[in-house]
Amino acid sequence: MKEILLCKYGEIVLKGANRRYFEDTLAKELRHRAASFGSFTVRYAQSTVYIEPQDEYADLDGMFEAARRLFGVAGVVRAAVAEKNMESILDTARSYLPQFLADKKTFKVEAKRSDKAFPLASPEISRETGGVILSALPHLRVDVHNPDVTVRVEVRETAAYVHAGQFKGAGGLPVGASGKGLLLLSGGIDSPVAGWMMAKRGVKLEALYFESIPYTSEQARQKVLDLAALVARWSGSMQVNVISLTHLQEELVKHCDEEYFTLLLRRCMMRLASRVAAMRGCESLITGESLGQVASQTMQALNVTDAAADYVVFRPCIGMDKEEIVQIARMIDTFETSILPYEDCCTVFTPKHPKTRPVLEKVMEQEQKLPVDALLDEAFATLETFYIRAKF
C-alpha cells in the first residue's frame, strides 16, 4: 500500500495574485528538506502539497516530522493512496485504518469530493466508509460530535486519499517569503523565541552574537551556536556572525558614566548590527526585547537604542510577559539550552543603577567621550562567521 504526505496550506490560501510565489517558496523548502530523507517528489495542487516517496528507502517518518516544523504548513496528513472508485477506497480503509483506530472508542468519517465527476456524493462516501470500519472494528461506535478520531476520505484530481486525521503544522508563511532579517542572538531565553516568531512570518534568518572574551567564555559562544541550530530546525540553515566587544566595553568603563554603560553598549550593537545587515543583504534587525522587562527595555531606552540603527527593528516579544516567552521556548526546545549558566556580554560591567528614562542628547554627550567610529571599526574587524546546517 502506498503512503504519501499531504501538507495543507495555512494563510497562503488568502493570498491573491502573488499566491503562486508563496506556493513556489513553500514547495522549494519542502524539496530541500526532503533531500535529507531520501527520494521524494514534491508538487502542489488545490491548496495542498503532495510529498510522495519514490522508493522503499525514503524515510516517510522523518519527512513527516520535518514537514510539521515547516512554516507555511497548517497541517500534515499521512495518507494511503487509493484509486478513484469506491471498491478501492473501501479496501484501502479496511486495510490501512485499523492501526490508527485499534485503541480508540469513537470515530466519524468526513469525505471531501473535489472531483465532482465522482459518482457518489460526500455523505454517501462517508456512510459506506464508516460501514466498512465498523465491520472491521466492531468495538468502535460513531460519534459525529466529539469523536476520538476523524477519518477522512479525499477524492482529488488523480487519486483518492484515506487518512485518520490531520496533525497541526507550524502555520505562518514560508521562510524567505518576507525577506531576510538579522537576529541579535544573545544566548538568553528571549532572542531565540524572537527569531522563531519572525521566521514564522516568512523571514529568512541570519544571526549576530556579541562576545567579550575573557569576560565571556567559549562555552557561552557554543551555547549560542547550539541555540541557532535548534532554531534552524524550524527556520532552515543560517549563518551566525560573531563580533568581539571586549575593548569597546573596557573603553566604556574607563571613560563614561556608569549609569549609561548599557545604553551606550546597545547603541554600539545596533551600529555594528546595521553594518552586518548591509553586508549580508538583510532588510531588518530582530531582537528579543519585551517592554519593561529590564532597564534597557523601557520606551525611552528603546527610542535611544533605535536611533543608532539603520534598519527597522522587529521585536516580536515586545508585548509578551516572561511566562508567555518561556512557553514558546519550551515548545521549540530552546529553553533548556538558554538557561545554561554561561554569561553574555550584556551582563558584563552591568551598572548598579542604569538609566531607565534616558534622554538622547545626554546619551550622545556620553558618546563624545569615546572614539566611537574607531572602536566600531576595531570590533567589526573581529567578525567571524559560522554556518549552521539545519538538522530536520
Q: What is the 3-state secondary structure (H, E, C) of 127-192?
A: HHHHHHHHHHCCCCEECCCCCCEEEEEEECCCCEEEECCCEECCCCECCCCCCEEEEECCCCCHHH
Residue 295: the pLDDT is 83
Last residue of a domain, one of 140, 168, 196: 168
Burial class from Cβ neighbours inside 10 Å (0-12, 13-18, 19+) for residue 66 reads: buried
* Together in a domain, 123 and 184: no
- Strand partners for 41: 52
Nearest-Å Rg of the Cα atoms of the chain is 26
pLDDT tens, residue by residue, 103-139: 999 999 999 999 889 999 999 999 999 999 999 999 9
pLDDT band at 341 (very low <50, low <70, confident <90, very high): confident
* CATH code of 338's domain: 3.40.50.620
* Structural domain boundaries enclosing 144: 3-168
pLDDT tens, residue by residue, 167-205: 999 999 999 999 999 999 999 999 999 999 999 999 999
In a domain, 324, yes or no: yes
DSSP codes joined into one string, 206-261 = EEEEEE-TTTS-HHHHHHHHHHHHHHHHHH--EEEEEEE-HHHHHHHHHHS-GGGH
* Together in a domain, 292 and 364: yes
Residue 330 is which amino acid? R
In a domain, 132, yes or no: yes
CA distance 317 to 28: 29
pTM tops 0.85: yes
Residue 142: the pLDDT is 96
pLDDT tens, residue by residue, 23-80: 999 999 999 999 999 999 999 998 999 999 999 999 999 999 999 999 999 999 999 9
Last residue of a domain, one of 168, 200, 228: 168
Residue 211, C-alpha cell as written in the block:
562576545
DSSP codes joined into one string, 13-75 = GG--TTHHHHHHHHHHHHHHHHTTSS-EEEEEETTEEEEEE-STTS-HHHHHHHHHTSTTEEE
Residue 346: the pLDDT is 67
* Together in a domain, 157 and 186: no
CA distance 346 to 334: 20
Judged by DSSP in three states, 384 sits in strand
Judged by DSSP in three states, 336 sits in helix
